[in-house]
Structure 1
Amino acid sequence: MNRRSGLRCGARWLALLLAATAAGRADSGVRTLRLIGVASLPAGTRCDGERVGGLSGLDYDAAHDQWLAVSDDKGEFGPARCFVIRLAYDAAAVGAVAVTGVIRLQPAGGDPNGGAPVPGGRVQGEVPDLESIRIDPRDGSLWVATEGEAKWGHPPIVRQLERDGRHRRDLPLPSVLAHDPSRRTGPRPNLSFEGLAFCPAGDAVWLALEAPLWQDGDVAGAGKGAVVRLTCLERDGRMGRQVAYRLEPRPLVPAPRRLADNGVAEVLAVSDRELLVLERGGAQQADGTWRFAARLFLASVASASEVGGMAALPAASFTPASKRLLLELGTAAGERVDNLEGLAWGRVLANGRRSLVLVSDDNFSVSQQTQFWVFEVQP
């Protein structure tokens, strides 16, 4: 958020769940995480004329040993774009990080310069508020989730693009996720499509909302959590499954008369029934700057109720996804963590274990950093 199936769906889901239950197997996913190190981009980094910052989504291109990261600046500092990044690390240490290229992402109309704000509060074309990016495991194309900009008439979308950034298609979405200008139902502005994750088989994607739909209750507050929907979408946009996920209360206390929040920042598939869910919270300080915290949960959707047919959750009876805390950053006094928004599997380490990388969105602020947190996954 900018501040200024594997998870298989439909009929296949029941077969998978019954098979897993009968076998009594445990998921071979994530038990704990070990921090390898943190790398930061220098402030003011540019590549191919574009300012680097606002990195809100991250994915690893294993074929070329590089990373792709999208910026969520809504066109303020450049067109919709994806940065190509090299990140050196092994099981012992994290080395240098460098931005090596830019992929400009075209909107449906094909103009890569669309979406830039102009005087008078209008915009030219779409507003590129990109929050997540995934590389299609089947053909290498790019999938992105964008929150759009409701005040300018641009709803949130899930989009597929060619590898060079040319527009391929926008995914048709179920009506429960449709933008409602009256703000009675549907996603909240700037709190909508935040996380995207391919299921292990690549036949569907999970789409995560940052905050509850209008009809599903209030956003997370002090001492009070919230409920968001996680939606499994087939590749043609049909909803295969939708479950509820309980957000934690806000992790930090703001200065008097200042703002604070907590929401889902990203999701990542671990197995046919497990997701990593990154919750990111922030609290505004007296000087207007923000302090951030992040909590990473392992969520199981195996026993969660289907909520796709429920018009509103507050009056409904349902079982949400279960969750277990894996990682907590930024809540201890003096602990510095920035605005972590991106989450992706990395390269396999020499010891055979997976790596996991988180990236922060610096909001193009001099008081923040673009950080890459690298972990070893311990199964």
Structure 2
Amino acid sequence: MTSKRLAGLCTAVLLVSTAASASAAPRTFEASGPTETGVRLLGATALPHGLRYDGTTVGGLSGIDYDPRSGNWVLISDDRSRKQPARFYTADIDMGAGDIGIELTDTVPLRRPDGTVYPPSGTGGSVDPEAIRFDPRSQDLWWSSEGERAEHRRDPAILRTERDGSFAGRLPLASNLRMREHTGPRRNETLEGLTFAAGGSLVVGSMEGPLIQDGAAPTAEHGALGRITVQNRSGQVLSQYAYPMDPVFASPPKGGSANNGVSEILAVNRGNPFRYLVLERSYVSGVGNSIRIHRIDTRGADDVRAVDSLRGTEVQPVRKELLVDLSEFEGLSTIDNIEGMTWGPRLPSGERTLVLVSDDNFSASQTTQIIALAVR
């Protein structure tokens, strides 16, 4: 299989497909200095729309992860088998001095227990992949699917796959996250975020928006309470916390739309069971996107797994502080629909790299954007 070299988050992108080649114009990039919280921009690039690789359309990249043991990377597409079978990509990412390069190395279809690929959405047996993580205890990968409310009501899920895409298991779902007629997740606002904590003994999932029973979605006038669920590896729900989402950053024009939600969660340290990064992604039609990454701490927060509804209920949510707002970086002329987030390798400076990827929704008006940050 021919790999593809995407050279230069900071300089240029060179793409060589198995069937044809495509390239993006070289881009000169001056890295921004650190914010008050010690975050600086290393680089950013966008992949060409409709890029073909190994017979697939590269797009819809909604999750990314890095394995520090092997140095390998994975990116998952949220294609619901409409273009090609649901899949993830493997990659090598080189973070050299002043240059960051990406090489896609494989395309791996996700498979059902019977070994077949997932059918297109609308058939009742499909998936909507969102997040993906390397299992720190095994060679497996874990990934989340949003499920569906409108077509063949289907619960969200956390699934496990072997490196070759073979089905390896499914984590039992917390009861209050199931798609019931009048309760549970809103359509397309379900299990977006996934991370491991406490050395891999905890599996932590975040909902993109509030459950139906927990109140209205965020607007420019008010935020909302989402849920973060902590389970052990066998699926037992150990705790659940309320997460306070920000209001939408601007009001939409008349007839326009606006939303805000949690698109990813990431343990600050895989050995720590309390501290996480949470990525909030907000969009206002005619205005654009706002991407904010927050530090949170679950210590002192109420366990709400037995609370039927957070609407009008006095609960202590997780503590939250802003780590970085991507609008602070002058070098980012575009901020798209960022959905994936992972820690990468440490830099010689001792800083950690934080790598983000956007979901272009396979739309020509959006971009598949990769952003690398350095965090003290």
Gaps of 5+ in 2: 1-35
Q: 1:370 and 2:368 equivalent?
A: yes
Question: Counterpart in 2 of 1:228?
Answer: 226
Instruction: Give, in whole Å, the separation in 2 of the partners of 1:213 and 1:107.
Output: 28
Pair 1:88–1:40, CA change in 2 (3 A): farther
Give me the whole-angstrom Cα distance separating, in 2, the residues matched to 1:346 and 1:263.
24
CA contact (8 A) 2:295 2:320 kept: yes
**Is 1:322 aligned to residue 319 of structure 2?**
yes
Written as runs of structure 1 = structure 2, the 5 A alignment for 1:117-266 is: 117=121, 122-123=122-123, 126-150=125-149, 151-180=151-180, 182=181, 184-266=182-264
- The TM-score normalised by the length of structure 1 is 0.84
Query: C-alpha offsets along residues 312-357 of structure 1, whole Å, 9 cap, x if unaligned?
Result: 1123221111111111124899952011000001012122332110
- Aligned partner of 1:277 in structure 2 is 278
- Rounded to whole Å, the distance in 1 between the matches of 2:290 and 2:210 is 20
Deviations 1:112-144 (A, max 9, x none): 1x3215xxxx42x52221110001000020101
RMSD, aligned CA: 2.0
Higher relative contact order (CA closer than 8 Å, sequence separation 6+) = 1
Q: 1:196 to 1:204 in 2, by over 3 A?
A: same
- Per the alignment, do residues 108 and 32 of structure 1 end up closer, same or farther by CA in structure 2, a change over 3 Å counting? farther
Residue aligned with 2:250, SS:
coil
- Cα distance in 1 for partners of 2:139, 2:61 equals 21
- Kindly tell me the number of residue pairs found equivalent between the two proteins: 336
Q: Name the % identity.
A: 38
Say which is worse superposed, 297-306 or 30-39, in terms of deviation. 30-39
Secondary structure at 1:201 match in 2:
helix
Q: Deviations over 1:43-91 (max 9, x none)?
A: 222221011000001101233323101111222211110011232324x
The answer as to whether partners of 2:275 and 2:297 remain within 8 angstroms in 1 is yes
CA distance, structure 2, for counterparts of residue 291 and residue 210 of structure 1 = 18
Task: Please tell me whether residue 308 in structure 1 is matched to residue 305 in structure 2.
Answer: yes
Give me the whole-angstrom Cα distance separating, in 2, the residues matched to 1:175 and 1:155: 10
- Aligned pair partner of 1:349 in 347, 358, 363: 347
Q: Aligned in 2, Cα 1:313/1:178: closer, same or farther, shift over 3 Å?
A: same
Counterpart check, 1:295 vs 2:299: no
**2:67 maps to 1:61:** yes
What is the CA deviation profile of residues 84-121 of structure 1, one whole-angstrom value per residue up to 9, with x for unaligned ones?
A: 1232324x534333322111111234311x3215xxxx
Q: Determine the C-alpha separation between the residues in 2 that align with 1:200 and 1:263.
A: 25
CA distance in 2 between counterparts of 1:58 and 1:218 reads 29
SS of corresponding position for 2:346: coil
Distance in 2 (CA, whole Å) between partners of 1:280 and 1:253 is 15
Instruction: Quote the offset at 1:31 in angstroms.
Output: 4.9
Q: Answer whether contact 1:107 1:126 (CA < 8 A) is retained.
A: no
Q: Contact 2:218–2:259 at 8 Å: present in 1 too?
A: yes
1:26 counterpart residue number:
none
- 2:113 maps to 108
In the other structure, the counterpart of 2:45 is: 39
**Mapped contact 1:131–1:145 kept (Cα < 8 A):** yes
Residues 1:78 and 1:42: Cα distance change in structure 2 (over 3 Å): same
Note closer, same or farther for the CA distance 1:31–1:329 as it changes in structure 2 (3 Å cut): closer
SS of the equivalent of 2:219 reads: coil
Question: Of residues 100, 103, 107 in structure 2, which corresponds to 1:98?
Answer: 103
Offset from partner CA, 1:224-265 (integer Å, 9 cap, x none): 100001010111111011111100001233332011110000
Q: Give distance in 2, aligned partners of 1:93 and 1:224.
A: 42
SS at match of 1:232: strand
- Contact 1:276–1:298 under 8 Å retained in 2: yes
Residues of 2 paired with 1:232 and 1:274: CA distance? 12
* Amino acid of the structure 1 residue aligned with 2:171: L
d(CA) in 1 for partners of 2:89, 2:252 = 33
TM-score normalised over the length of structure 2: 0.85
Q: Which aligned runs of 4 or more in structure 1 are off by greater than 3 angstroms?
A: 330-335
- 8 Å CA contact retained: 1:210, 1:265: yes
The CA distance in 2 between the partners of 1:281 and 1:109, in whole Å, is 38
Alpha-carbon distance in structure 1 between the residues aligned to 2:179 and 2:98: 45
Contiguous gaps of at least 5 residues in structure 1: 1-29
8 Å contact from structure 2 (residues 93, 102) kept in 1 = yes
Q: Report the Cα distance in structure 2 between the residues aligned to 1:107 and 1:246, rounded to whole angstroms.
A: 35
